[in-house]
Amino acid sequence: MFKAVLIEKDDQGYRANVTELPEDRLPEGDVAVDVEYSTLNYKDGLAITGKGPVVRTFPLVPGIDFAGVVRSTANPDFAVGDRVVLNGWGVGEQHWGGLAQKAKVNGDWLIKLPFSMPARRAMAIGTAGYTAMLCIMALERYGIRAGDGDVLVTGASGGVGSIAIMLLRKLGYRVVASTGRSEEGPYLKALGADEIIDRAALALAGRPLQKERWAAAIDSVGSHTLANICAGIKADGAVAACGMTQGLDLPASVAPFILRGVALLGINSVTRPKAQRVEAWDRLASLLSESDLERSASEIGLGDVAATANKLISGQVRGRVIVDVNR
């Protein structure tokens, strides 16, 4: 038997509860993992609360990422005892995920953790930090460098935003953080933000082309915010877009793209090729220490997941939430 958060939907309604399940309930997969830590991401919050159409099949164990130790394997790339991490691939949406003590998955979805990184540290980073690293890698591939000007980070006190600020600061960029929570100013400054702006300045419909303010941006908000960011990016700059907390729409103009050569780079963290995943995690291991991450992370147990998910969706959670699945 193992403990898991289980989402069910039937005549009694939509609900997510911690329950004990027999191991034979685990789905098909060629690698079984003893999960040590998972996390609570925005997508997990939507799934657990039922406030977004995330879950595709019921019943389902949520959790879009996890880190743990291989318990058994039929995949030649892994051996019993390997320390592994998983992000994406529909886990926690279509396939049973990481908010459980045990998982069984397709081994092609896993990568080995960098040698220096324990499971808890990996989940202090989690899918949010991995996504932030993918955003930075995309900006680098486009040609953005630290000396080109400010980089804007929206949703700055959230999971992606918090780690994006830390990474950008480590890499020498000047960071402008956008947040709707003015009380988080000292926290964001401690992470490495050089300047803080109110998200309200970006949240409403704006002019199609605005003053050139930022060389690049990492946006997890979407909608009018993303449109205004594009309108304020300097010539030949770029925006890495990875989220939609304000909305899926993009009420923008083509003006920034055809008059300033601005690039909009979509970040799909779910199905990245293995080589990009390994590169991202290797860089995360080298750039972020345990002490860097502790200021932006909190820890809960499985029994706290449902209540914390509601707080996350309502914007009451700062930074990363680590879930110790064994308490």
For the segment 129-155, what is each residue's pLDDT rounded down to a tens digit? 999 999 999 999 999 999 999 999 999
Query: What is the distance between the alpha carbons of residues 68 and 94, in angstroms, rounded to a whole number?
Result: 20
pLDDT over 90 (residue 115): no
Q: What are phi and psi of 152, to 5 degrees?
A: -90, 135
Query: What is the distance between the alpha carbons of residues 301 and 322, in angstroms, rounded to a whole number?
Result: 8
Q: What tokens were used for 311?
A: 């707080």
pLDDT in tens, 220-242: 999 999 999 999 999 999 999 99
Query: What is the distance between the alpha carbons of residues 107 and 79, in angstroms, rounded to a whole number?
Result: 11
Strands, sheet with 233-241, edge to edge from the N-terminal-most edge strand: 195-198, 175-179, 151-153, 214-219, 233-241, 263-266
The total number of residues shown for the chain amounts to: 327
Listed residue (155, 136, 166) closest to 240, CA to CA: 136
Query: What is the distance between the alpha carbons of residues 215 and 153, in angstroms, rounded to a whole number?
Result: 12
Listed residue (217, 256, 258, 222) closest to 238, CA to CA: 217
Listed residue (59, 53, 67) closest to 27, CA to CA: 59
Q: Where residue 116 falls among pLDDT bands split at 50, 70, 90?
A: confident
What is the per-residue DSSP string for 30-41?
SEEEEEEEEE--
Q: Which helix (H) or strand (E) holds 87?
A: strand 83-87
pLDDT in tens, 191-205: 999 999 999 999 999
Instruction: Name the amino acid, one letter, at 157.
Output: S
Residue that is written with structure tokens 């997941």 in the block: 305
In the predicted model, what is the mean pLDDT of residues 65-89?
97
pLDDT in tens, 254-299: 999 999 999 999 999 999 999 999 999 999 999 999 899 988 899 9
Domain coordinates of the chain in residue numbers? 2-113+296-324, 127-266
Lowest mean pLDDT among 19-28, 76-85, 312-321: 312-321
pLDDT over 90 (residue 182): no
CATH fold group of domain 127-266: Rossmann fold (3.40.50)
Sign of CA dihedral 139, 140, 141, 143: positive
Mean pLDDT of the chain: 96
Which pLDDT does position 90 carry in this prediction? Answer: 95
Which pLDDT does position 315 carry in this prediction? Answer: 85
Which pLDDT does position 296 carry in this prediction? Answer: 87
Q: What is the pTM of this model?
A: 0.94
Q: How far is CA 278 from the centre of its chain?
A: 16
Q: Which helix (H) or strand (E) holds 133?
A: helix 119-142
Which DSSP letter does residue 248 get? S
Instruction: Name the amino acid, one letter, at 95.
Output: H
Q: How far is CA 257 from the centre of its chain?
A: 27
Peptide bond into 59 cis (omega under 30): yes
Which pLDDT does position 294 carry in this prediction? Answer: 87
2-113+296-324 and 127-266 in the same fold: no
pLDDT over 90 (residue 122): yes
**Which of the listed CATH numbers 3.90.180.10, 3.40.50.300, 1.10.287.1080, 1.10.8.60 matches domain 2-113+296-324?**
3.90.180.10
